[in-house]
Structure 1
Amino acid sequence: MPLLHVENVTRSFGSTRALSGANFSIERGEIVALMGANGAGKSTLVKILSGVLSADGGAIRLNGRPFSPKTPSEAAKAGVVTVHQSTDLVGAAGLTVADALLLHRFAERGTPFFVSRASVRREARAMLDTAGFSLPLDRDFGDLSAADRQLAAIARALSNKAELLILDEPTASLSAEESRRLFDILLSLRARGLAILYISHRTADLEAIADQALVMRGGRIVGSFSRPIDFPSAIEMMIGRRLEAARADARPATGPAIFEMRAMRLLPTSRPFDLTLHEGEVVAITGVLGAGKSRLLSAIFGVGGFAGGEMRLDGRPYRPRSPADAIAGGVAMAAEDRHRSSLMPAAWPGNSLAATISLPHLAKWYPRGLLFGGRERREAEKAISRLGIKATGALASVWTLSGGNQQKAVIARWEAEPSRLLLLDEPFQGVDVGARHDIIQAIRARTDRATLIATSDPEEAYEVADRILTIDRHTLRPVAADFASSSALQGISA
């Protein structure tokens, strides 16, 4: 008898059919990868299993018994624990890491009214030791990096007596070393009989740990692959077409110089470096977590600053004091965590696709302060067509879109107005192969600007860039001037 059996499960949102009869089983002590393009139904399926949504039809059985949780707490008590891609619900600014790790315990019945700080730290430390992670227990949770927030979420999930652990893009913000540590933990949990449903767009993750891969498309499971998994065939089944060559031909840097950095130092102790970006050029920076990728892009955008050096934009001195200065100068940026930096909260006005695109351009589009929705809707409709955004319309909430379509909306924001330099920090995080292809095509189609991309995945860098640099100890260095193959990137993220 399988641990989990899903039979003909359906779910609709109005006239949109998100699940059209999903069928699969998961055995104890098995790691199952769930693959699917954005919008294939993965998120809906996970929400049903985790008690966030209910199914319209079909049956789910856990340990042979009917399973239809009404809340995530009810699902967790039954043995199904989910770690979502967004960690906003794990903790909040003002809480210590120890408080965030035990937040769910504070809400349980029977918890003493008074809890000592020492007991909280002791239990939080035990939780981290079980997971194999190390985090600063007294640090403000709001100050943690995206990677550390993800580790906290996983550690808290592992503290529950789970029979099925669902992980949604768990390594999206982790370094290669942190990912390897996580894989070791997951393999040890599998050896103890825990079942794991693992959702990721990174085939390297799935190749490392998955016993089986299920492929979703159109709300159904359309294929199943056992180890060793034939990933090219699985991806072709996932996107419904033949897999195209990923590597675009590199373009020589023949255009005029748009952005120049001379003797730049990110930190007082780091070595200086030079960088020149040319019109029409796409340059990627890759390296391990903490090497300085995000810090570099943020400093160019007017956040954080440099320890030394000079910058020039179109031949003129460039030293922004704020993001507003950068935008006024023709520099745009999409930051790493779109949920925290680029999307309005779901409960706030202005969370539509149209408003998301228009937000940084309001002063320019409506100089007299009177807002008219016509231009917003037109720009959103252009974006839907140009980037292939799957949405019901320009006024659809971005929170109803899949992760890949949310990222397309963020890219569309900076496509709506001309810019000379576009900065993209981890633009493919949580984005499937099909959506990534659409975003790469849009990035490379613009030859009137330079684009600088930070990514922790060397293969993503190889797919999108004309030129690739690595960053180590906050200093840039070139990988190669010309790429004949991706072999030059081996080991960059190790």
Structure 2
Amino acid sequence: MPILDVQNISLAFGSTKALVHANLTIESGEVVALMGANGAGKSTLVKILSGLYSPDAGKVLWQGQEFAPKSPAEAAAKGIVTVHQSTDVVGIPGQTVADALLLNHFVDGRHPFFLSQKSVRKAASRVLSDAGFDLPLDKDFEDLSAADRQLLAIARALANDARLLILDEPTASLSSRESQRLYELIRGLKTRGISVLYISHRTADLAALADRVEILRGGRNVGSFKQPIDFDAAIETMIGRSLSSARPARRETFGRTVLELQNVRLVTGAKPFSLSVREGEVVAITGVLGAGKSRLLSSLFGLGTFADGNALLDGKRYAPDSPADAISSGVVMAAEDRHRSSFIHADWPGESIAAAISLPHLKKWYPSGFLFSDRETREGEDAIKRLAIKAQSASASVWSLSGGNQQKTVIARWEAEPSRLLLLDEPFQGVDVGARQDIIATIRRHCDRATLIATSDPEEAFEVADRVLVIEHHTILDNTLDADAPQLHKEHA
């Protein structure tokens, strides 16, 4: 008998059918991967299992009994725990890692009313030890990296006695080494009879972990693949069309140099390097987490400074004091964590697609301070058509969109006004194959600007870029990787 048995689940939001007679079974100790394009119904199914949505039809059996949780807490009490891709809700600023790890224990009374810092640290240390992770217990949650927040969320879920762990893009913010640790953890969970529902667009994750891949398209089951998984067939089944494996054609010529870095040191003690990017050129920088990719882009966007060296933009000295200064110079960036860096909070005004696109341009578009024109709406509607954003209108909330459509909205923001240099930090994080192709086509469409991309995934780098560079220990290596020789990257990753 499967531990989870989803039978003919359907759910519609108005005229939109999110799930249509969807089915899913998971055995004890089985890792099942759920694949599907953005908007295929994956998140809706997870929200039903988590108690956030109730289906219109069908039923869910948990350990043979009908199961209809009304909240995530009720689902967790039964042993179904979800770790979401966005980990902002795992803790709050001012809260230590130890406190965040034991938050559920404090709420449900598993710890006594009076606690000492020593006892909390001891209990938190035990939670981390059981999970196989190592995190600084006294560090403020606000100061944690995206990777550490992900590890914290998973450790806390395991401490909640999960029997089914639902992981949504768990390696999106993890380094190769941390991903391997997660793989080992999941394999250990299998031996203990704990099941995993694994949602990811990364085929490396699925090849390493999944016993079976189930595919949704348009809210329906369209395919099932067992190990060894034919990923070409799985991806074609997922998007409903043939997917060419050819990378974008290289441009034969490029325009004048837009960005030139001269003997730059990202941090004190690092080896200096130089770099240039030309009009129409897409350059990808790849390397492990912490190698310096994000630091380079952040410094170019005015969020930091170089330890040494010079930057030239269109031949002139470039040293922005702030993101506003960078934007005014024609340098724009889509940061790694779009939820924190690019969008207004869901409960505040200004969280629509149109508003998200217009946000950095308000002063230019409305110099008088009055939003009297319909430019926001026009830009939003144009972006929906141009980037194939799946939304009913420009007034739709960005928080109602799938990850790929959210990223398209961020890209559209910097399409609304001309720019000289586009910086993209992990642009395909949480983005499915179909949406990734749309974004790549948009990136490569421009011949009047330069594009610099940071990605930890070499496959993504070769798919989008004209040149691929490797960064190690905060310096870019001398060799340029050729698209026909991706094995060179593996030596450095």
Q: TM-score, normalised by structure 2?
A: 0.98
The aligned residue for residue 211 of structure 1 is 211
Q: CA deviation at 1:158?
A: 1.1
Q: CA deviation at 1:192?
A: 1.4
Residues 238-268 of structure 1, C-alpha deviations (whole Å, 9 max, x = no match): 0000011241122345321011110111111
Q: Residue 107 of structure 1: SS of its match in structure 2?
A: helix
- Aligned equivalents of 1:481 and 1:114: distance in 2? 58
Residues 193-251 of structure 1, C-alpha deviations (whole Å, 9 max, x = no match): 11110000000100001000000000011111111111110100000000112411223
Q: Aligned pair 1:294/2:283, yes or no?
A: no
Residues 71-114 of structure 1, C-alpha deviations (whole Å, 9 max, x = no match): 11110111111101010110011101111111122211464332
CA gap of 1:110–1:264, structure 2 versus 1, over 3 A, is: closer
- Aligned equivalents of 1:373 and 1:58: distance in 2? 47
Q: Aligned pair 1:101/2:101, yes or no?
A: yes
User: Share of identical aligned residues, percent?
Assistant: 64
Q: Which amino acid aligns with 2:455?
A: T
Q: Aligned pair 1:30/2:18, yes or no?
A: no
The aligned residue for residue 73 of structure 1 is 73
Contact 1:468 1:479 in 2 (8 A): no
Structure 1 residues 288-367: aligned runs within 5 Å: 288-367=288-367
- Aligned equivalents of 1:482 and 1:254: distance in 2? 18
- Aligned equivalents of 1:341 and 1:230: distance in 2? 37
- Aligned equivalents of 1:405 and 1:246: distance in 2? 23
The aligned residue for residue 115 of structure 2 is 115
Runs of 4+, deviation exceeding 2 Å: 109-114, 249-254, 478-493
The aligned residue for residue 283 of structure 2 is 283
- Aligned equivalents of 1:376 and 1:452: distance in 2? 27
Equivalent pairs, count: 493
Q: Which amino acid aligns with 1:352?
A: S
- 99-108 vs 359-368, which moves further: 99-108
Contact 2:35 2:201 in 1 (8 A): yes
The aligned residue for residue 462 of structure 1 is 462
Contact 2:468 2:482 in 1 (8 A): no
Residues 154-192 of structure 1, C-alpha deviations (whole Å, 9 max, x = no match): 110111211111100000000001000100010111011
- Aligned equivalents of 1:285 and 1:360: distance in 2? 26
- Aligned equivalents of 1:484 and 1:118: distance in 2? 55
Residues 440-483 of structure 1, C-alpha deviations (whole Å, 9 max, x = no match): 00000011100000000000000000001111110012443643
The aligned residue for residue 490 of structure 1 is 490
Q: Residue 404 of structure 1: SS of its match in structure 2?
A: helix
- Aligned equivalents of 1:3 and 1:66: distance in 2? 11
Contact 2:104 2:160 in 1 (8 A): no
Structure 1 residues 246-265: aligned runs within 5 Å: 246-252=246-252, 254-265=254-265
Contact 2:279 2:449 in 1 (8 A): yes
CA gap of 1:479–1:28, structure 2 versus 1, over 3 A, is: farther
Residues 355-379 of structure 1, C-alpha deviations (whole Å, 9 max, x = no match): 0000000000000101135101111
The aligned residue for residue 372 of structure 1 is 372
Contact 1:258 1:420 in 2 (8 A): yes
Contact 1:286 1:492 in 2 (8 A): no
Q: Residue 38 of structure 2: SS of its match in structure 1?
A: coil
Contact 1:458 1:492 in 2 (8 A): no
The aligned residue for residue 147 of structure 1 is 147
Q: Which amino acid aligns with 2:123?
A: E
CA gap of 1:287–1:8, structure 2 versus 1, over 3 A, is: same
- Aligned equivalents of 1:87 and 1:224: distance in 2? 30
Q: CA deviation at 1:37?
A: 0.3
Residues 277-303 of structure 1, C-alpha deviations (whole Å, 9 max, x = no match): 100000000001101110110001111
Q: Which amino acid aligns with 2:411?
A: I
- Aligned equivalents of 1:96 and 1:110: distance in 2? 19
The aligned residue for residue 395 of structure 2 is 395
Q: TM-score, normalised by structure 1?
A: 0.98
